[in-house]
Structure 1
Amino acid sequence: MEKVFGYIRVSTETQAEKGYGKDVQEAAIHEFCKKNKLEVVKIFKDLGISGTLFPRDGITELFSALSKGEIKRVIVMNTSRLWRADNSKVMIKRQLMKDSAMLTSIEQPTYSIYDKDPNDFLLNGMMELLDQYDRLNINMKLANGRRQKAKGGIKSCGNPPIGYQWKHEGVKKPIIVVDNDKVEVVREIFKSYLELKSIRKVQHYLFELGYKTHHGKDFSAMARRNILTNRFYLGEVKHSDLIVKGQHEPLINKISFGKVQSLLKRNQRKGA
């Protein structure tokens, strides 16, 4: 037997309307489910609430229950119990569709929130805009979270540069610590570049020592340059235009890093 949720709403205006009182709606849902061999798990209610308002406590609880994924069908006496205005209709339909839920209206047996209605052209456009806004809002929150972490000198996410690793055990939040197995690789790249004065010669040097990347590959020219220009090794965290002192241990001192940058610029001008 399929399990379903029910929903009823009675506003101050509709309490006196024939057929839309609380008890009448509840009885109609139970009778419909009995005839169609459906099990009503719970009926969510908004009493004394206008259908133009959204969100409402009852419908918010309904959506919370639907999001668990165990029950995917809602029974109402009429869609007017769910919405009385386009704005609430858009929001409610959108959430039901997000939860992949089916809506059954007792008085509108052929109605489906998934049918394409030419009259809903504007509403569908509004739903698409809301989806875009959601994605934008999520991206903005993530970007803001990363920036706030950067302000505190914390790398926000992703893999740390070679020479570092995430530490998860024994700490409340993951932190970046020195990777003792790879730290010498980084220091040798900086040291050998200052001595050999050529990124190409550094490649041969690393090959002779048997140094590899995290993925067990030889260091490409781009990988070597990225390491040599990465201010993370100075103990700094960069996010967009923001550069702050990081909470991680630096691997290269400022003097060596500065000499490397000067040499890189000089070689770039020479085309070396």
Structure 2
Amino acid sequence: MLAKQTDYIVGIYLRLSKDDERAGESLSIENQRRILTNYVREQGWTIYDEYVDDGISGTSFNRPGVQRMLDDAKNGKINLIICKDLSRFGRNYIQVGQYTDYIFPMYNIRFIALNDGIDTLNSDSADMDMMPIRNVFNEWHAANTSKKVRAVIAANAKAGKMMTPYCPYGYVKSDDEMRTPVIDPYAAGIVRRIFEMYASGMKPLQIATVLNEEGVLTPFDYYYKRIGKPNPYNHSHLWSGRNLENILKNPIYIGTLAQLRTTTVSYKNHQRINRDESEWAVIENNHEPIISKELWDKVREIEKSVSRGKRDKKGELSPLSGLLFCDGCGWKMRKASTGGGGYICGYHNRFGKNYCSTHYINRELIEGIILADIQEMCELAKDEKAATAEFLRRKRAFIDVQSISDTKRMKTVGSRLAELDKLIQSVYEDKVAGRIEPDMAFDMLDKYQAEKKALKEEYDEMNARSEAEMQDEEDVAEFISRLKRYAGATELTREMCLDLIEYATVDENNKGHKDRPRVIHVYYKLIDKPLTNKNRLALT
């Protein structure tokens, strides 16, 4: 029971969620305001303030209006809170109960839900007895509504309708029923530059620096400028690595609409979490792309590269940065701070000579060695047939005799599988017609089924090898195409390295044995096996 008070300073709470808007005037903010204001005036009480949450769900109490009201209540500015009904205050029965049963009585605050007849001053009333049931029902309603809304959003997304409130940077929403993304020429040009800069070897933070120095507006700043409104978000108005990574990973720029990529923990907890890619709603060729599929694939390939591209103190990014490994310990080589420019073992640099030697190599020397190797392959690529044969030989771990054998064997196995299907069908027919004893039929079926299973496994294995061979040929063709782009190159560039090189290993420094040649192994993309661990070389 609350301590009796005669002077009430009232806080009026008004809330309308986006789902409630469909209910029309009966739940509108203006209608709630009129009903509650009239009631307070009839009682002769004083209104201190109104607290409004418009378009916000009642499942969470992390609402600006309700939080401000609760702070005022705890600070003694109001001693009576009134709302139209319990569902306006909240739809989380546990939290609503905590406030009405514990927190409000502790601060001697009276609470009224007018239409439900709830008044904590009259704790013995029948309406107060029903309050826990009303709270549970209100939460059930929120859960049910959330389920229906999610189903509608998912159905629309799978049908190709754009469901996000903002169109990604580079596009604007069209006026058609599906809200199809339409290219914004200016922003699309910036998007292309971002992808091209990343493909050339620049990292998101480096790209952000360029855009900020040029005064290019951030996506939100550009959006609000375009619609003629001030940006309401309080941020630095600068490009960052994070928003560039979001652009670089969004398939919308190749014409693919990928939605339902995130969701909330539950209808109560609105924290956003990432969905598994298998749960996305993906519509390919949905709209006009901004970048080519080739550029998109190149960016994806660079993301998987062993190199993170670390700049030195002068801001310089070496062509081979992050691509060199020590063949002694397996750690990455790093740029030496002394010695006139070169690379040393990162493990040695960090822990000293007791753990690994320097493996030092002059930068000009190794860049020259690798450039010469690339030039030699470019020369070979002029004869495409010879180059294809050489690179396929390098790529494949087995000899062509296996391929020839598989081709012949697949024809034989395929014929036998078709024959077994006919034999199995014949046995069933003979059994049904009574031309063969059941025991004999079952023995024959077991025999045929066992043979069919073994042959099917063998066929699938050979088919997988055949598909791998076809992929080998595609990879080699792509590698030759890349080589041709760098024919006649006289300098090793960062873009060339990211395009062609998977990684390279450097042997021990030949101190005291200057006549001994250095051993450098270069492993190329598409024709050599990639590293499983991008940070450490697995030594055998």
TM-score interval, smaller chain? 0.5 to 0.7
2-structure distance, mates of 1:199, 1:267: 16
State whether structure 2 residue 187 is matched by structure 1 residue 182: yes
1:265 is the counterpart of 2:286: no
Give the aligned partner of residue 153 of structure 2.
146
Of residues 243, 248, 262 in structure 1, which corresponds to 2:287? 248
Distance of aligned partners of 1:64 and 1:165 in 2 relative to their CA distance in 1, 3 Å threshold: closer
Percent identity between matched residues is 22
TM-aligned CA distance change 1:122 to 1:263, over 3 Å: farther
Change over 3 Å in CA distance of 1:67–1:163 after alignment to 2? closer
Q: Distance in 2 between matches of 1:222 and 1:65?
A: 42
Match of 1:226 among 246, 250, 265: 246
Equivalent-residue separation in structure 1 for 2:282 and 2:160 (angstroms):
6
Q: Which has the higher contact order (CA 8 A, sep 6+)?
A: 1
2:160, 2:178 within 8 Å by CA — same for their partners in 1?
no
Q: Which moved more, 1:247-256 or 1:219-228?
A: 247-256
Answer whether contact 2:161 2:177 (CA < 8 A) is retained. no
User: What is the Cα-based RMSD across aligned positions, in Å?
Assistant: 3.7
Displacement of 1:153: 1.8
Q: Deviations over 1:105-131 (max 9, x none)?
A: xxxxxxx55443376666322211111
Once the two structures are superposed, the pairs formed by residues 44-55 of structure 1 within 5 Å of their partners are none
Q: 1:116 to 1:149 in 2, by over 3 A?
A: same
Q: Is the 8 A contact 1:196 1:202 kept in 2?
A: no
Deviation, structure 1 residue 145: 1.9
Q: Which runs of 5 or more structure 1 residues have no equivalent in the other structure?
A: 1-62, 74-94, 104-111
Q: Say if 1:72 and 1:101, in contact at 8 Å, map to a contact too.
A: no
Among 139, 144, 147, the residue aligned to 1:137:
144
Q: Does 1:239 align with 2:264?
A: no
**1:1-272, aligned counterparts within 5 Å?**
69=31, 112-114=117-119, 115-117=122-124, 123-168=130-175, 171=176, 174-214=179-219, 215=221, 217-236=237-256, 237-240=258-261, 241-245=279-283, 247-266=286-305
CA 1:267–1:219: 2 relative to 1, 3 Å:
farther
Mapped to 2, the partners of 1:140 and 1:200 lie a distance apart of 40
Which amino acid in 1 is paired with 2:260? H
> Is the 8 Å Cα contact of residues 164 and 179 (structure 1) preserved in structure 2?
yes
TM-score by length of 1: 0.54
Letter in 2 for 1:244: V
Alpha-carbon distance in structure 2 between the residues aligned to 1:188 and 1:251: 11
Q: Structure 1 residues 198, 131: closer, same or farther in 2, change over 3 A?
A: same
Q: How many residues align structurally?
A: 180
Indicate the SS of the match to 2:155: helix
- Relative to structure 1, the CA distance from residue 131 to residue 200 in structure 2 (aligned partners, 3 Å threshold; closer, same or farther) is same
**Offset of 1:191 from its aligned partner?**
0.7
C-alpha distance after superposition, 1:189-228 (max 9, x if no partner): 0011111342233223323543221226331011111111
Are 1:199 and 1:225, in contact at CA under 8 Å, matched by a contact in 2? Answer: yes
Equivalent residues of 2:118, 2:128 under 8 A apart: no
Asked whether the equivalents of residues 161 and 179 of structure 2 are also in contact (C-alpha less than 8 Å), the reply is: no
Q: What SS does the corresponding residue of 2:134 show, helix, strand or coil?
A: helix
The whole-number CA distance in structure 2 between the counterparts of 1:263 and 1:196 is 8
- Cα-to-partner distance string for 1:24-74 (whole Å, 9 max, x where unaligned): xxxxxxxxxxxxxxxxxxxxxxxxxxxxxxxxxxxxxxx99965849959x
How far did 1:176 drift? 2.8
Give the SS at the match of 2:142: helix
Write the distance in 1 (CA, Å) between the matches of 2:183 and 2:238: 21
| 1:64 to 1:96, Cα distance in 2 relative to 1, 3 A | farther
Q: Give the 3 Å change call, closer, same or farther, for CA 102–162 of structure 1 in structure 2.
A: closer
CA 1:126–1:184 in 2, change beyond 3 Å: closer, same or farther?
same
SS at 2:160 equivalent: coil
Contact 1:162 1:213 in 2 (8 A): no
SS at match of 2:173: strand
**What are structure 2's unaligned runs of at least 5 residues?**
1-22, 37-83, 89-112, 223-236, 262-278, 311-321, 323-540
Cα distance in 1 for partners of 2:201, 2:156 equals 37
Q: C-alpha displacement at 1:259, in angstroms?
A: 1.2
Q: 1:222 to 1:134 in 2, by over 3 A?
A: same
